[in-house]
Amino acid sequence: MSLLEIKNLHVSVDKHEILKGINLRVNAGEVHSIMGPNGSGKSTLAQALARRETYNVTSGEVSYNGKDLLAMKPEEAACEGIFMAFQYPVEIPGISNAYFLRSALNAIRRYRGLDEIDAMDFLPMFREKLKLLDMDEKLMNRSVNEGFSGGEKKRNEILQMAVLEPKLAILDETDSGLDIDALKIVAQGVDAMRNPERAIIVVTHYQRLLNYIVPDFVHVLVHGRIVRSGGPELALELEEKGYGTMEAEARHATPA
């Protein structure tokens, strides 16, 4: 049984159909990359899997870990082990990063019937993850993402992922806006989390991130459909030729 199985998924936002029948199967231990031009529906797929309510599933099925993902609320999906790293992490003034993360971790632990972790036990674990991402401990007492640089925000997303240890991680354009040093740190953070129990979906526009996180599979999303799937070599082909030919093929294949 696959960890994630998407069948003929259609998603609309504000009555515009963005995803027009996605089929995708992801097994535990695999890293998949979803690539595509702007507006192809990559982020919509990520948001729909994270169960954002404004992304309206009009038809199709998604089974995750044997359960119906589309019946879950965002918090249920998270507690079941789905994590999405946001393309645009949200600033939340007035809630400290450390408090937020501990609340999230404990919400998930409660859901799974585990004991909550108190602030004392949380701290050492937290420090270790901070080191992994080369983050300043001071950021933890600041409000969530408030006044963080672009790179700090993205690193903060990966930090959350490292603390919450999801079964399925979806990185929504985590590489965008990162300089090469930050990109390496983020990629190392993600790569360190690869294991046979966990699947990772890397949504990206460019191939660059995939030099550091080498995917097992690459899918090309154009106009709301996956038009090609292949191995890591597909990413290199895209880098060389661009999305143009595939977009043209997609237009050709789509009945008017």
Interface residues toward another protein, by CB under 8 A: 50-54, 73-75, 77-79, 83-84, 86, 89-90, 92-95, 100-101, 103-105, 107-108, 111, 143, 160, 164
Output the smallest distance, CB 51 to another protein, in A. 8
20 vs 174: CA distance, rounded Å: 24
Nearest residue (CB) to another protein, 112 versus 241:
112
Nearest residue (CB) to another protein, 52 versus 205:
52
Nearest residue (CB) to another protein, 106 versus 211:
106
87 vs 183: CA distance, rounded Å: 14
- Helical (H) or strand (E) element with 9: strand 4-13
Helix 150-164 to helix 180-191 angle (10° resolution) is 0
Nearest residue (CB) to another protein, 30 versus 157:
157
- Helical (H) or strand (E) element with 61: strand 56-64
Output the smallest distance, CB 13 to another protein, in A. 12
The residue written with tokens 């870990």 in the block is: 65
- Strand (E) positions, 191-249? 199-204, 217-222, 225-230
Nearest residue (CB) to another protein, 77 versus 200:
77
Output the smallest distance, CB 53 to another protein, in A. 8
Q: Is 99:203 a contact under the CB 8 Å cutoff?
A: no
Output the smallest distance, CB 162 to another protein, in A. 13
Q: Is 50:170 a contact under the CB 8 Å cutoff?
A: yes
Nearest residue (CB) to another protein, 69 versus 238:
69
Output the smallest distance, CB 86 to another protein, in A. 7
Output the smallest distance, CB 249 to another protein, in A. 34
103 vs 116: CA distance, rounded Å: 9
Both tokens of 157, joined, read 């997303």
